[in-house]
Amino acid sequence: MGKHSATGWWVPLTKRWILALLIMLSISTAIAFFIRAALDPCDRHLEVSDKKRVQSQSVPRIATKSSPLSFMKSKLVLLVSHELSLSGGPLLLMELAFLLRGVGTKVNWITIQKPSEEDEVIYSLEHKMWDRGVQVISAKGQETINTALKADLIVLNTAVAGKWLDAVLKEDVPRVLPNVLWWIHEMRGHYFKLDYVKHLPLVAGAMIDSHVTAEYWKNRTRERLRIKMPDTYVVHLGNSKELMEVAEDNVAKRVLREHVRESLGVRNEDLLFAIINSVSRGKGQDLFLHSFYESLELIKEKKLEVPSVHAVIIGSDMNAQTKFESELRNYVMQKKIQDRVHFVNKTLTVAPYLAAIDVLVQNSQAWGECFGRITIEAMAFQLPVLLQKCLYQGTAAGGTTEIVVNGTTGLLHPVGKEGITPLAKNIVKLATHVERRLTMGKRGYERVKEIFQEHHMAERIAVVLKEVLKKSKSHLY
């Protein structure tokens, strides 16, 4: 992690960069350089599902100097994750674990799927949890069953985690369902299986990251599975305090920008358009590269005077290059744009790259992202966002506009091949209009400050947890 590949080849960190990072640690806010930034989930209103439709209502701001989650002190919470990786779902659940630990909650963590061999990422993340007082326990066994039965709250993270209930708890499943909050991030059809979600109607509630995803789940579960969603709450995410501190520290950002760019072999005046997601076909890196190449051709054809434009793909895997990633690299070679495209290995620390780039591109395909955490992180760094429209209902409405305001904080483009040319044109627009780019970035930052910070997310989650605990307590009587 943290290793870079420029122009398709792997380049190690230089001693000079490492020294710079150590210097950065002396800057009070730059300690957050070592925080993680999730690569993929959603924001701001609470949504409750009744018998007929999902209704949204504003979550009231909790006016108190203490944490809005302080009522969780001394309660026992069991967090169940389908995996432990650098993907958005597990990292988001870890963030909830740390918020709860911060108010004195007893937090136990279970990872359902683990590789048989030792994994560096899992080892690192588990130790990070242990250091923060989160108890990591086995996904099976009597200790796990006892913990589940005693827990005040069980949070199942992602639809896939539902299989753990029958596999481990078996006949005790009905006893724990009233204490279960199901946190759902997925927006893809293959997750709609009864094997995964057959207990969904009986849990205390479902928490979903965006309004469009909540509506999608309500309709799909009813039409495809003939089951009803439980009370459903939409909770948009927020940026951590640590990330915001780095984003607001101009000295830290300047140093990070200089050294990341040096490692990539680009100049300070060059324009960097980056896509930050695990490299996979569903994330749309291939279509982004087609758009990028087309934008270079447009610039050349129209003889536009712009700085050198570069594409950065962050989320590569140097140890296990997939067929898809090989296709990406071959495309770069065929188009002879090796000097303009840079592959960077997946990393736990995206803050340096957000400080180094000029524009974020979100290009996830099909139903898109439920929320796209990286989007609000980029907006915190005053970056405009080029975002794909949500395919659901065939419009730009829904999850996309819950974050990015088209024409104000970023620009939208269609999904699929139809989006290649529009995205290329949007790249050219932001490359040629400096003021527009900077204004969009500033407005995105203002939007983050208004509704996408950690305390906003904590307040919204607190409302949900209070409701779920109230239902659980009433079930006892």
Residues 91 and 204 in one domain: yes
Residues 191 and 326 in one domain: no
- Global pTM reads 0.82
Residues 164 and 308 in one domain: no
Residues 322 and 183 in one domain: no
**For residue range 442-476, what is the model confidence (pLDDT) as tens digits?**
999 999 999 999 999 999 999 999 999 999 887 66
Query: What is the mean pLDDT of the segment spanning 322-334?
Result: 94
CATH of the domain at 403: 3.40.50.2000
Residues 284 and 295 in one domain: yes
Residues 223 and 256 in one domain: no
49: in domain: no
388: in domain: yes
DSSP 405-468: -BTTTEEEE-SSGGGHHHHHHHHHHHHH-HHHHHHHHHHHHHHHHHH-BHHHHHHHHHHHHHHH
Residues 138 and 262 in one domain: no
Residues 85 and 140 in one domain: yes
9: in domain: no
Residues 234 and 245 in one domain: no
CATH of the domain at 177: 3.40.50.11010
Residues 247 and 206 in one domain: no
56: in domain: no
153: in domain: yes
Number of structural domains (the chain) is 2
Percent of the chain with pLDDT over 90: 65
Give the pairing type, strands 410-413 and 106-111. Answer: unpaired
* pLDDT at residue 1, as a whole number: 38
8: in domain: no
> Is the pLDDT score of 3 beyond 50?
no
Residue closest to 240 by CA, chosen among 38, 445, 26: 38
Q: What type of residue sits at position 99?
A: L
**Cα separations in angstroms, 53 against 73, 219, 222, 460:** 34, 9, 11, 21
- CA 355, 345, 41: angle at the middle one, nearest 5? 70
Residue 303 phi/psi, 5° resolution?
A: 55, 45
Residues 152 and 277 in one domain: no
**For residue range 147-178, what is the model confidence (pLDDT) as tens digits?**
999 999 999 998 889 999 999 999 999 999 99
369: in domain: yes
39: in domain: no
Length of the chain, in residues:
477
Q: Which structural domain range is residue 296 located in?
A: 241-451
pLDDT band at 366 (very low <50, low <70, confident <90, very high): low
